[in-house]
Amino acid sequence: MYILVTYDVETTSSEGQKRLRQVAKQCKNYGRRVQNSVFECEVTEAQFTMLKAALTDIIAPESDSIRFYHLSKNQNKRVISIGKQTTYDIDAPLII
């Protein structure tokens, strides 16, 4: 499944800055950053459950928020981007 993960973490304290880094690190394990607090991910149902659980354990629910948007393959191809291109073709081969 394709998902878009967005988050807003309070960073006025050092604890908040640490949570922000931890959230970003978890998201990087499952997808690619397309904007500062936005990741595009292709995950299985099990991976999605694990990601959601990991992020739930990291954030402070009274001050932080995370949103997950489910996308179909067709919706992903209808993304319109203006400006610096930071996205990638999720179906293209990944060369490391």
Domains of the chain: 2-73 (3.30.70.240)
**pLDDT at position 82:** 62
| Mean pLDDT calculated for residue range 55-69 | 94
Percent helix, strand and coil across the chain, each to the nearest 5:
35, 25, 40
* 3-class state of residue 19 by DSSP: helix
User: What is the rounded distance in angstroms from the CA atom of residue 65 to the CA atom of residue 6?
Assistant: 8
13, pLDDT greater than 60? yes
In the block, tokens 């904007």 appear at: 35
- The dihedral over CA atoms of 37, 43, 46, 50, expressed in degrees to the nearest 10, equals -20
| Mean pLDDT calculated for residue range 7-20 | 95
Question: Contacts for 35-39 with beta carbons within 8 Å, 24 or more apart?
Answer: 35/86, 37/6, 37/7, 37/8, 37/9, 38/4, 38/5, 38/6, 39/4, 39/5, 39/6
| Mean pLDDT calculated for residue range 52-79 | 84
Average model confidence (pLDDT) across the chain: 85
Full-model pTM = 0.78
